[in-house]
Structure formats: C-alpha cells, structure tokens
Amino acid sequence: MDYSKIYFKKDNSVMKVVFNNPEKLNALTAEFIKEMNCLLDEIEADENLQVIILTGEGKAFIAGADISAMKTMTPAEAIKYASDTTEIYRRMEESKKIFIAAINGYALGGGCELALACDLRIASMKAKFGLPETGLGIFPGGGGTQRLPRLIGMARAKELVYTGKTISASKAYEIGLVNEVIEHDELMHEAENLAFVILKNSKSGVSLAKESLNKGMQMDIVSAINLEKNLFGLCFATEDQKVRMSAFFEKKNAKSK
C-alpha cells in the first residue's frame, strides 16, 4: 500500500520504522492503525527481517490517540478502537521478530502503550512518558493497565494511571519503564547498535526466548517452567544450535592447542 503516516527502510535484517504525522504528534489515527497493520503484514512475510526499530518524526514518538475523533465515540465505537489498537500491540508481542522502541519524544497514552508492547525500550533524554487518560474521563484502554504493572509493578502503575502525570526519561529508567536513556542525537545510533548485538546471536534462540518470556509471564510458575523446557528442547531441533555449538568447541579446541 501507499504509506503516508509511516515510512521505513530495510537494511539487511533490520527495519527502521518512523511514525510520520508530526503535525498531529504521530497520533493513533485510523489511517495510522491501518498502515501499521499493513506494515506488520510485510514484516511477518519477510523471513530475513529480525529486528524492527520504531521511532517518531518530530517531537513525539506517539503522543496518544486522536482525541478529535475519540470525543464523539459511542461505547461500541470505543471498544472497536481499543480492539484495533490492541490487535497491533498483540501482533508485535507475539511476533518472532524483536521490536525496539527508540523513543525520541512524547510517548503518551497509546504511544506509551505501543512502547510497552515492544521487546526493548530506549529513550532520548528528551522523551516524556505518561498515561493521561483519566484526566479525559477514560483510562488506558490499549493494554496499559495490563502491561504496565507487569513491567514496573502494581503500585507504580497505579500511581501513573491514577494521577495521569507525565514523567521524564530518567524517571522512566529509574522505575524500569525503559532499558536505557541516551543523548538525543545518539538515539538511533544506539538503537542500531542494540539491534546488531541481538543479530549476533541465534535467530531461533532469541525468538524462542521471546516466546518463553512473554507467554511465561501470563502463567503460574509451574506451567511457565514446563513451557520453558519444551521451548528449550525445540532449540535442539534447529540447525543454528548445531552449527553454533560445533563452532564453540572448534574455537575452544583451537585455543587449547
């Protein structure tokens, strides 16, 4: 399709995706949602792609929903909107690809929720985070009340949701919302470096680890460990495991001679 709210560039196994509606602070408009779903189709169809870096054009990563469209929604339309956005986040979470959010500016409301669905989050020092929905008579309906407490704990999640306050990148790092805070001009460089570090490791090992981590968090510990051991076993059915372990011993033996 023709993309207008997103542009992207593929570089071997890495795709850089830029949200491109700076006039609306990259809001989660209907057009954006449609384009993002189409892009996810392309990402899943490309077997060579392993890491996707997401960032925003202008001063926002995504500054939330399109409030002008949301203010007249009926309850049924609101549920449909929440379903459309959460479907994007579910697809990212369940993908075998690794998603890195390179958060360049405001990540508010749905923008924060999209970042939560990513595997890793690195933030510019200019980034700001918040879930301001309760000030608008609603609450985070894109998975925010579910993913956030799983990531930073219930007490801190309730504080952010109930108060609707905006926090700095350094505070987000302090509470475990982001993995790292970077100088603004170095953000994309660091995101690319992180992608390349991941790419050095086993594609199948990383994707199976993602499945174990994400699914296991939704289970009791006994069920999660059973899931883990079965996925661990699948690693031994891959060519990657055989090649990498053989190479490890060849290198070790060469050093010992």
113 is catalytic: yes
* Residues 6+ away with beta carbon under 8 Å from 214: 93, 94
| Distance, C-alpha 142 to centroid of its chain | 13
Q: Which of 113, 159, 180, 192 is catalytic?
A: 113
Contact between residue 9 and residue 16 where contact means Cβ atoms under 8 Å apart: yes
Look up residue 102 and give its two tokens: 């390179």
The rounded distance, in Å, linking the Cα atoms of 155 and 158 is: 5
Contact between residue 199 and residue 97 where contact means Cβ atoms under 8 Å apart: no
Q: What is the pTM of this model?
A: 0.94
pLDDT reported for residue 215: 96
**3-class DSSP state for residue 6?**
strand
**3-class DSSP state for residue 19?**
strand
Sign of CA dihedral 177, 153, 218, 148: negative
Contact between residue 62 and residue 107 where contact means Cβ atoms under 8 Å apart: yes
Cα atoms in the 13 Å half-sphere on the side-chain side of 96: 14
133 is catalytic: yes
- CA-to-CA dists, residue 24 to 1, 28, 106, 222, angstroms: 22, 9, 12, 46
pLDDT reported for residue 249: 83
Domains of the chain as residue ranges with CATH: 6-199 (3.90.226.10), 203-256 (1.10.12.10)
Per-residue pLDDT of the chain (257 residues), as tens digits, is 799 999 999 999 999 999 999 999 999 999 999 999 999 999 999 999 999 999 999 999 999 999 999 999 999 999 999 999 999 999 999 999 999 999 999 999 999 999 999 999 999 999 999 999 999 999 999 999 999 999 999 999 999 999 999 999 999 999 999 999 999 999 999 999 999 999 999 999 999 999 999 999 999 999 999 999 999 999 999 999 999 999 998 886 766 66
Give all strands (DSSP E) within 110-183, no chain letters. 120-124, 128-130, 166-168, 180-182
Q: Which of 133, 192, 239, 250 is catalytic?
A: 133
**3-class DSSP state for residue 248?**
helix
